[in-house]
A and B are shown apart, each in its own frame.
Chain A
Amino acid sequence: MNDLSKVKNIIVKNPLKLDCGKEISNFPLAYETYGELNDNKDNAILVFHALTGDQFASGINPVTKKEGWWAHALGPGKAFDTKKFFVICANVIGGCMGSYGPSTIDAKTNKPIGTNFPVITINDMVNAQYNILDFFKIEKLFAVAGGSMGGMQVLQFVSNFPNKAKVAIPIACTASHSAQNIALNELGRQSIMADINWKNGFYGENEKNPDKGLALARMAAHITYLSKKGLEEKFGRKLQERDDLKFSFDADFQIESYLRHQGSVFVDRFDANSYLYITRAMDYFDLTNKFNGNLSKAFEKSKTKFFVISFTSDWLYPTSENRDIVIALNAIGADVGFIEIESEKGHDSFLLNTPDFLDTIKNYLKSTYINEKRI
């Protein structure tokens, strides 16, 4: 698995009471930062990653040697301009890039914790990451931002800490995981658990991991991140390095080969148990639950300015679900902006080079930072 010796982390000493009832303390939270924190400490942005992301949002991930998941969006002169802002990104608990998770080695047994790791929630993830503010002695963040599961964390963060961020940018997300999304996540989990090497989550001895199950989960999920039109344009019925069909179950089509590739590279960087835990956390996410179905109440105590963004071709977290967040905010007179960005790249639009999306965020952050200073 990953060599995590180069990863920065803080050890969270404070006990954290999880939603499942268990308590954790003295656990590692791995993070990365971009740009410089200014003297007033008013230029910090906390970015939350999605299901398979990690703290290496930009630059080259020192562990995987791959480009960060938000390299298009984050860096000097980019949407999250690190010449102006100090951006922090932490690996969620349950993750596998250095934060406390199922692949963390249990000191008592010297083996990975595996499925002895407690079931965690988005709320737990956010509460764990809140410790980052103390670590950097940041009284108030300028912004919290994230897409997909990162967007869910944005919503949860503002609900939990109403006055700790001036701006919140939830992107392509939802306030309540839908039946369709739970179903798709369950498909992924069942693929992993059906792998003979999963062994109820206690794998890893003799180097045998449930790679096939995890790859299959990734392949299925990857389809949901794209749109039909996007797939049609990129692959169509194009054949993979052959002139004709082979009348076999090889990857005849480019799309098959592409998905297989996505699956196989994913297992090199991601832990199967982490995939189970994090998808579970997403499924459990329903911000309205604590407030008797009234989402507005989740944000009632907050003065945070919201900027909600969705994408036209995203069917996984469709515009309607993002709009529900806007409606809930309008119901309490919150300061909210909303746009549905035109894109044919599906849910993945927020990770890709989508100029309308990136330009708008860049200018929004820039002008809002100036406006906030004037007030």
Chain B
Amino acid sequence: MKKEYKIISELIEKNSKALDVGCGNGELMKYLFENKTKDIRGLEISKKSVQNCLSKGLPVIEGDAENDLIQFPNHSFDYVILSQTLQAFLNPETVISNLLRVGKKAIVTIPNFGYWKVRLELLIKGTMPVTKNLPYEWHNTPNLHMCTIKDFFIFCEKRNVKIVKSLALNQDKISEISFKNLKYKNIISELGIFIIENK
């Protein structure tokens, strides 16, 4: 069980209605189903993963966030979760606005490109960073729009998106991110976890 999933689960109120976008094999969904809420749905692009989820009895729909979020009515979920996939979309901006249309709140997690190990890879080796969270090479990566925790802060500010809560994860240690410690957290954190809503 990923630490990230436990944190997400703690952020979600009991018995609320949640949608996991890009739910993969349903690991987070299953955890939430057993611990938080029975009212959970998933959206996933890979057929194999959808089959896997449905085999576990999880209500998952084959589709992707860029084309298939449209079918969900406004504010039909309390939370829409997007775990480490924002960077893989052609148009992350549209996806974010759809997340916030469908969900009253969205929980977005991003692998931090500002993490010191990532910076070091490029600085020292001079090659595109390959790390635990970003295991791909430049030519086979699905990640089109990498960003840092700071980038995401700036993005939200510009797009009138309110950051309700922001957490940094570094080797299983969680801490709060604020404007004050942003510069520091942006260096030492592997993952950023945000609850956002429309202003």
Contact = CB atoms under 8 A, between A and B. Distances in A.
Interface stretch (B68-76, B122-130, B154-162, B189-197): B68-76
A339 B56 contact: no
A338 interface: yes
Interface string A309-335: 000000000000000001100110101
A181 B47 CA distance: 28
Contacts of A327: 71
Contacts of B41: 335-336
B76 A333 contact: yes
25 contacts: A307-B59, A330-B61, A330-B72, A330-B76, A331-B73, A333-B17, A333-B73, A336-B59, A336-B61, A338-B50, A338-B61, A339-B51, A339-B60, A339-B62, A340-B47, A341-B47, A359-B51, A360-B55, A363-B54, A363-B57, A364-B54, A364-B55, A364-B57, A367-B55, A368-B57
A201 B131 CA distance: 74
A339 B38 contact: no
Give the interface size class of chain A: 20 to 34
Interface string A336-369: 1111111000000000000010011001101110
Nearest to A309: B54
Nearest to B62: A339
Nearest to A337: B59
A371 interface: yes
A373 to B, nearest CB: 11
Interface in B51-100: 51, 53-63, 71-73, 76
Contact of B57 (A326, A331, A370): A370
B70 to A, nearest CB: 9
A331 B41 CA distance: 13
Contacts of B73: 330-331, 333
Contacts of B51: 339, 356, 359-360
Given A337-B54, A367-B55, A330 B71 contact: yes
B56 A326 contact: no
Contacts of B56: 363, 367
A245 B61 CA distance: 50
A107 interface: no
Nearest to A363: B55
Contacts, number: 66
Contact of B61 (A326, A333, A375): A326
B54 A339 contact: yes
Contact of A360 (B17, B54, B76): B54
Interface of A: 305, 307, 326-327, 330-331, 333, 335-342, 356, 359-360, 363-364, 366-368, 370-371, 375
Nearest to B50: A339
B167 to A, nearest CB: 29
A338 B62 contact: yes
A340 B62 contact: yes
Contact of A337 (B17, B38, B60): B60
A339 B51 CA distance: 7
Given A330-B71, A364-B54, 15 more contacts: A326-B61, A330-B61, A330-B73, A331-B73, A333-B76, A335-B41, A336-B61, A337-B53, A337-B54, A338-B50, A338-B60, A338-B63, A340-B47, A356-B51, A363-B56
A354 to B, nearest CB: 12
A337 B58 contact: yes
Contacts of B54: 307, 337, 339, 360, 363-364
Contacts of B72: 330-331
B37 to A, nearest CB: 12
A280 B76 CA distance: 38
Contacts of A307: 54, 59
A161 B76 CA distance: 25
Contacts of B76: 330, 333
Contacts of A326: 61, 71
Contacts of B47: 339-342, 356
Q: Considering residues B38, B62, B76, which has the most beta carbons from chain A within 10 angstroms of its beta carbon?
A: B62
A353 B128 CA distance: 46
Contacts of B55: 359-360, 363-364, 367
Contacts of A335: 41, 59
A371 B62 CA distance: 22
Which 7 A-B pairs rank lowest in CB-CB distance, beginning with the nearest?
Answer: A367-B57, A363-B55, A368-B57, A327-B71, A337-B59, A338-B61, A339-B50
